[in-house]
Structure 1
């Protein structure tokens, strides 16, 4: 084998090994962050309760309790398990019972304390401007 071909082949193999190692480290560090949210049924799989996580589900009917002017407690469900969430702050406009939400926060004494709430709309949502143009 010519020296030039041997050097080129060694360089390609070396780059492949370095890229593979880099990809392994990236994917292993993102392992828990790839999931957008955990449903209430998967909460017991999380071992470190002090890390910030996202949970999601439907707001259970008749579970919203107003604790103070800007603090509420409600329950989310995935129709298998439920999870109690406390949230302090301004509620999203789409927040209501039987609506999908994603909450980001941590566990404190068995209750999930949310720092952010994201209300999800259904797949039939259309902005009001689009509805007005379609009705004409």
Structure 2
């Protein structure tokens, strides 16, 4: 009788371990496309991404670089003060998207141009994504917003 309880306990532990391993594998599989690394323009220039690698690039929209193409196509440059990367995007741009403002774009590099599938703009005068602030601070070009 005692041996039977011990054997049942071991079976339950093994089943729980297998269920945990399967759940972890399924979560990892589901998240494989949802994890995108952030890079500043300087990091992209210093360590070019692998062909087809999807990542986020962030910085400021370089003044004078925003060009409206045909339809919903736009091109612009993202800069962190140390490097600039040309970006191409086709779609509806956010209302607050403009030159000199912080932005993050999701996409991949193709022939030296970052082809974005999504762009995000800051949502008010004081907000800027933490990654963009950190990258700008590294370059020494970040200025704290003035408090009114």
TM-score tier by shorter-chain length is 0.5 to 0.7
Paired position in structure 2 for 1:129: none
CA contact (8 A) 1:99 1:121 kept: no
- Are the structure 2 counterparts of residues 26 and 104 from structure 1 closer, same or farther at C-alpha, using a change threshold of 3 Å? same
Q: Comparing 75-84 with 23-32, which one deviates more in the overlay?
A: 23-32
Aligned length in residues: 124
- Are the structure 2 counterparts of residues 112 and 31 from structure 1 closer, same or farther at C-alpha, using a change threshold of 3 Å? same
CA distance in 2, matches of 1:25, 1:4: 32
Task: Give 5+ residue unaligned stretches, structure 2.
Answer: 128-148
- Mapped pair 1:89 → 2:91: yes
Residue 59 of structure 1, CA deviation? 1.0
- TM-score scaled to structure 1, two decimals? 0.66
- TM-score scaled to structure 2, two decimals? 0.62
Q: Comparing 19-28 with 56-65, which one deviates more in the overlay?
A: 19-28
CA distance in 1, matches of 2:42, 2:32: 19
State how 1:38-77 maps to structure 2 within 5 Å.
38-43=39-44, 44=47, 46-49=49-52, 51-68=53-70, 70-77=72-79
Task: Give 5+ residue unaligned stretches, structure 1.
Answer: 126-136
Paired position in structure 2 for 1:120: 122
Residue 76 of structure 1, CA deviation? 0.7
CA contact (8 A) 1:72 1:88 kept: yes
